[in-house]
Amino acid sequence: MANKLSQYYAPTLKEAPKDADILSAKLMLRAGLIRKTASGIYEWLPLGMRVFRKVENIVREELDKIGAQEIILPAVQPKELWEQTGRWEEYGKELLRFEDRKKAGFCFSPTAEEVITNCIKRDVKSYKQLPVVLYQFCIKFRDEIRPRFGVMRSREFYMKDAYSFCETEKSAEEWYKKFFEAYNSIFTRCGLKFKAVEAESGNIGGSFSHEFMVVAKTGENAIEECVECGYLASDEKAGKKCPKCGGKYKSTRGIEVGHTFKLGTKYSESMNAKFLDKDQKPHPFIMGCYGIGITRVVAAAIEQNNDENGIIWTKELSPFDIHLITISEDEKVLAQANLLIKEAEAKGLTVLWDDRDKQAGMKFKEADLLGLYNRIVISPKTLKEDSLEYKARDSKDATMWKLSNVKTKLNDLT
């Protein structure tokens, strides 16, 4: 069954709220993808959730391909685990700390290195059980001093975090490369233009890391690229000259959507998490950590793909495959709409049907705001020509599809 816009919860706004301080936030609020609950905390509405889930499923498919296994870790974590690594005090005020009714200390997870290391420490004892590579999707909370940019830098956010536990440096590096390649596949499948840059490890720590940046003029991060050899680094990591060839940098702007870290033994040593080798000697696990901000990817996609009329979704992230608009309640129009929906859904295509009793101009304007990848219009005028009107959101021009050729044309949209 197609989703009828007359019954779909997609409350649009003519104007964005005054506190929306970046284009993606304005468009997400206007298009009814999100609503603000409190500073840095947002509700995700049905259209937003459909994009959200598409990103999540792409990530899941690519990580499953490389052999990672999905789990769920607790968002509420005990103080004593964070004390073992020293991060209970080091993390600062971004860590939301609280006590339960028994006065035991807890925090709301901003990341999960301590919990996952404790999990592996408990159950993995031998080198024969390695490597172990796990990932989860989870709500995180970081009490940002000044939340801004909508879901781009919110306090509560949804991310994928993954962790590898290996016996040797060679194995750890192999898994780092697997995640690096998986991230390239993920962001390519999302239809994004991005760059992977060497970066500082920050609060997570470790020997080296890469940030995956979606290229956008509105990005808050600088990407430094050597004009001679193409070496890429964040502005924090770059230095004055390229470390590879000594060349000069050119700068672009980017939005961080993913980060990979080679942690080494930072957490396993501090938490005494060890395995026994073939000679029964204990060694700390060699770890890696890999994050993707799912909510950030949605916002970054909008920052990269928009025009003066609204969002332009990539084919892969469009919340529905087809935005169907019917003009008039004419029986022939409705019959053709139902036939189109049946044929589209038989091919696995999803349809959002604007069946509302509204002016055509208003329907077209909202269609541009929502930004679905394909738009099809059925009206008495098109049916007089035995046709439908088709327009891709990223195209200026509409074309006519003959009714006799609709099935073939739909094949091209799959």
* Domain layout of the chain by residue ranges: 23-307, 320-413
Domain at 23-307, CATH from 3.40.640.10, 3.30.930.10, 3.40.50.300, 3.90.550.10: 3.30.930.10
Architecture of domain 320-413 in this structure: 3-Layer(aba) Sandwich (3.40)
* Contact status, residue 126 vs residue 296, Cβ threshold 8 Å: no
- For residues 317 and 315, what is the distance between their CA atoms, to the nearest angstrom? 6
Express each pLDDT in 68-92 by its tens digit: 999 999 999 999 999 999 999 999 9
Can you tell me the distance from the alpha carbon of 144 to that of 405, in angstroms, rounded to the nearest whole number?
54
**With 90 as the cut, is the pLDDT of residue 208 above it?**
no
Q: Is the pLDDT reported for residue 206 higher than 60?
A: no
> Does residue 205 have a pLDDT over 70?
no
- Where do the DSSP E strands lie in 167-269? 194-199, 208-215, 221-226, 232-234, 249-264
pLDDT at 337 over 60: yes
Res. 201: pLDDT tops 70: no
What average pLDDT does this structure show over 274-281?
A: 98
* pTM assigned to the model: 0.94
Residue 49 contacts by C-beta under 8 Å, 6 or more apart in sequence? none
- Paired with 390 in beta bridges are 376, 399
Average pLDDT, the chain: 95
Per-residue pLDDT band for 239 (boundaries 50, 70, 90) equals confident
Query: Which of the four pLDDT bands, split at 50, 70 and 90, describes residue 200?
Result: confident
Statement: residue 203 has pLDDT above 90: no
pLDDT band at 220 (very low <50, low <70, confident <90, very high): confident
Provide the pLDDT confidence category of residue 204 given band limits of 50, 70 and 90. low
Residue 407 pLDDT > 90: yes
Residue 165 and residue 174: Cα distance in Å, rounded? Answer: 12
Q: What is the pLDDT of residue 314?
A: 96
Look at residue 207 and tell me whether its pLDDT is greater than 80: no
**What's the average model confidence in pLDDT over 131-157?**
96
Q: What is the pLDDT of residues 18-35, one digit of tens each?
A: 999 999 999 999 999 999
The tens digit of pLDDT for each residue in 222-237 reads 999 999 999 999 888 8
**Chain segment 240-276, per-residue pLDDT in tens:** 889 899 999 999 999 999 999 999 999 999 999 999 9
Q: In this predicted structure, which of 7-11, 57-61, 91-95, 208-212 has the lowest mean pLDDT?
A: 208-212
Phi, psi of 265, deg, nearest 5: -115, 20
Can you tell me the distance from the alpha carbon of 297 to that of 54, in angstroms, rounded to the nearest whole number? 11
pLDDT for res 63: 98
